Amino acid sequence: MSKRQLSQHQQQRIEQRREGALHHKTAQQGLVVMNSGKKALVRLKDDTIHQCHQRANLANVVAGDNVMVWQNEQGESVIESLLPRRSLLSRPGFRGVIKPVAANVDQLLVVIAPTPGIDLDLLDRSLCYCEWQALDAIIILNKADLIHENYRDYCNTLAETYRSMGYTWIETSTKNQQGMTDLLAICHNKTSVFLGNSGVGKSSLTQALVPDITIRTQSLSSSTGLGQHTTNNATLYDLPFGGQLIDAAGIRTLELSEFSIAQPDRYWRDFQPFLGQCRFHNCTHSHEPGCAIQLAVAQNKIPLHRHQHYLRLLQDTNTLNKS
């Protein structure tokens, strides 16, 4: 219905409800759905979405942030303060400046797939990042329908390896719905973010979790007037069954090699039983004699690929610190 068709009475009631939603000087709590630089979209408790300015000298808010919003004299909605974050997902930006991307995330859904190929290096780095940031990690082997018979044993061994470290490992397929009930249960009432290489099926899985995502994205981009540009910003979607998904196009592989994680061995779960047993207290587990980690690898107590990926991260970190 267009505005012209609304009766005066109806219009009055709409105005009243608007005023009720945002009282001048009475701050209300809201959830940031998206931040497109100057403006942020904030959803209030009554489910209305408001385009907000940020108070000057307030740190940039990101999708998932809890904020307090009020209305200024000009009738504009203003983010007045940022409530404490329980977690913050960020990525290294220009000149090593860390840029926040999404807040209050509970878990990362790390997606791998037989095509374009299971990237265990990225998986291990993502798991390290999660340990470092105290986020839960869920491993999703997607495109299970494409796992060839000859590949089955290998996939089962991997599942066993990561489950024995305490990680959740599920197999899914957006083609035959395998594992979708598991995925829904994992995402229930949590805030999740997908990670993984291009082509593993993140968009397809997102579509499965938020079936009307295209419509919602369109309505968000029209309400910011920014068009398709908005899809580059992290955006929060409500899951129909409870919980949220933050779609963060810019951090899908997190550029993990650019994080300078001190002593990554602390975040390699399968190393933990052996740490502190090396001959040298500052052992890097790469070349030192009397290394308990290298011994554990030789004795098949730690998978070779886990140690190799650890060494690669260590190398990248060292290169980073020297440059």
Dihedrals phi, psi of 150, to nearest 5 degrees: -70, -15
Residue ranges in 171-190 that form contacts with ligand GDP under rule CB under 6 A: 173-175
Minimum gap (Å) between residue 205 Cβ and ligand GDP: 7
User: What is the C-alpha to C-alpha distance for residues 41 and 235, in angstroms, rounded to an integer?
Assistant: 10
Residue nearest to Mg ion (CB): 203
Minimum gap (Å) between residue 280 Cβ and Zn ion: 7
In the DSSP assignment, the letter for residue 274 is: G
Minimum gap (Å) between residue 202 Cβ and Mg ion: 5
Asked if 204 is part of the footprint of Mg ion (rule: CB under 5 A), the reply reads: no
Residue placing its CB nearer to ligand GDP in the complex, 23 or 175: 175
Minimum gap (Å) between residue 209 Cβ and Mg ion: 13
Minimum gap (Å) between residue 249 Cβ and Mg ion: 8
Rounded to the nearest 10°, the torsion over CA 205, 158, 277, 258 is -40
Q: Which does 50 bind (CB under 5 to 8 A by kind): Mg ion, Zn ion, ligand GDP, none?
A: none
Of the candidates 266, 274, 271, the one whose C-alpha atom is nearest the C-alpha of residue 303 is 271
DSSP 9-74: HHHHHHHHHHHHHS-BT--EEEEEEEE-SSEEEEEETTS-EEEEEEPTTPPPP-BT-EEEEEE-TT
Question: Contacting ligand GDP (CB under 6 A), which of 67, 200, 236, 245?
Answer: 200
Question: Contacting ligand GDP (CB under 6 A), which of 142, 192, 224, 244?
Answer: 142
Site track for Zn ion across 252-291, x = CB under 5 A: --------------------------x----x-x-----x
* Amino acid at residue number 17: R
How far is Cα of residue 210 from the mean position of the Cα atoms in its chain? 16
User: What is the C-alpha to C-alpha distance for residues 4 and 109, in angstroms, rounded to an integer?
Assistant: 47
Instruction: Give the chain's length.
Output: 323
Question: Contacting Mg ion (CB under 5 A), which of 48, 87, 203, 207?
Answer: 203
Contact residues: Zn ion, CB under 5 A: 278, 283, 285, 291, 293
Contact residues: ligand GDP, CB under 6 A: 142-143, 145-146, 173-175, 196, 198-204
Contact residues: Mg ion, CB under 5 A: 203
